[in-house]
Structure 1
Amino acid sequence: MDEPHWTLLSRRVTHRGFVTLSEHEVELPTGENIVYEVDESIPCGVVVLGITESGEMRLAKEYRYPLDRWIFELPGGGVEHGEAPAEAANREYEEELGLRPIDLTFLYTFSQNPGRHAYPIHLYFCTRTQLGTKTTGDPQEVVRAVDVSVDDFDQMVNKGEIVDPCLLIARLVAAQKGLLPPVG
């Protein structure tokens, strides 16, 4: 079955700051024109699931103001213009955790919020690191490295304590690829 698409008629940036928002005027398959807001902040994003030598998940714990709480998530961030996703993954892991991945492996690409984000998220995996330099100079970004066993992580998921979608997707994909024990 042929699935109808929307047609872009015009695009204008309505806000440019840490977040870039654009209004897209589109024509729907019905012929109706609407304005649709899209987050076009970065070309793409990256996250890294690190596993320690003892098999624990190396996570980032960071305060997230919109939720007013500290949450577990994966180290990662936006790819800078002209930067390859793997380079960004290495950079972000080192900036946030002070560790440089040695065996970075691409796992999966997904959309974190396909209803509003125009950019994909690239998921990477690593099991070996070397000491790097923690260089995040952003006062909004206070990150703590936390190692969590897979069993403890799965218990936190069951209790509703894990809210970051990238982290949930990473756990599932790593299990499906045999890099972590099965879920459940």
Structure 2
Amino acid sequence: MEQKRGPWTILSSREGYRNPWVEVTHHEVLRADGSPGVYGVVGFQNLAIGVLPLFADGTVPMVGQYRFPLKRFTWELPEGGGPKGEDPLLSAKRELKEETGATAAHWLEYGQADLSNSVTDERAHLFLAWDLTEGEAAPEPDEVFQYKRVTFGELLTDIHRGEVDDALTQLLVLTAVSRAIMGELPDRPRNLILDQLPEARTGGS
């Protein structure tokens, strides 16, 4: 049965591939101009979860790992996936603990984003965590992490230099900067962020 989806008409759909993390669906469609075409969509079984953890000294924990699709090592903020039926905050707390060992007294979800909306339905939830307590990391058996702490200012500079190109890390940092400047974060994390920005970005002279 034909189905309308925006300007497209879906003539038929079939599942091409599925595993515990993703499913690929092949659609035969009519484009907006009536011409035939195909549309492949990657559906994600989990929500994307990203955490910006702020220690009291203004540092943040970075997680380094080899990313199989990219064929290279990357540095990122703590991030992972959470079941769609679970409160994203619970997933964020679990990811932070697993990847860094840290726990946080305070949490705030301060943004959401579609990560690759032309071919996937992946939705990301952005969390800020502060008043951290250090602990022992507990990664999954197939996860091999490196770990370092950098100042928030150093991380922001690395992003601007193109040295940290993970999309979720960039979203976490740049959204936090924007919300801090606009006064939309609680005082404690807002001050930790603003204290490390160049004066031109915070209205200083």
* TM-score normalised by the chain length of structure 1: 0.85
Matched, 1:40 2:31: no
Indicate the SS of the match to 1:127.
strand
| C-alpha distance in structure 1 between counterparts of 2:51 and 2:74, whole Å | 16
Displacement of 1:124: 0.5
Structure 1 unaligned regions, length at least 5: none
**Match for 2:85 among 82, 91, 104?**
82
| C-alpha distance in structure 1 between counterparts of 2:39 and 2:31, whole Å | 11
Match of 1:174 in 2: 176
Q: Give the strand-richer structure, 1 or 2.
A: 2
**Match for 2:148 among 131, 146, 164?**
146
Deviations 1:16-53 (CA, angstroms, capped at 9, x unpaired): 12432221233321122322111112242111111111
Match of 1:108 in 2: 111
Matched, 1:26 2:29: yes
Displacement of 1:130: 3.4
Matched, 1:124 2:102: no
Structure 2 counterpart of 1:106, one-letter code: E
Identity among equivalent positions (%) equals 26
Greater C-alpha Rg: 2
Deviations 1:113-155 (CA, angstroms, capped at 9, x unpaired): 111111210100111233555332232x212332111232233
Structure 2 unaligned regions, length at least 5: 1-5, 181-189
Are the equivalent residues in 2 in contact too, given 1:47–1:122 (CA < 8 A)?
A: yes
Indicate the SS of the match to 1:35.
strand
Are the equivalent residues in 2 in contact too, given 1:96–1:136 (CA < 8 A)?
A: yes
Indicate the SS of the match to 1:101.
strand
Q: Please, what is the CA RMSD of the aligned residues?
A: 2.2
* TM-score normalised by the chain length of structure 2: 0.77
The alignment of Structure 1 onto Structure 2 pairs a total of residues equal to 180
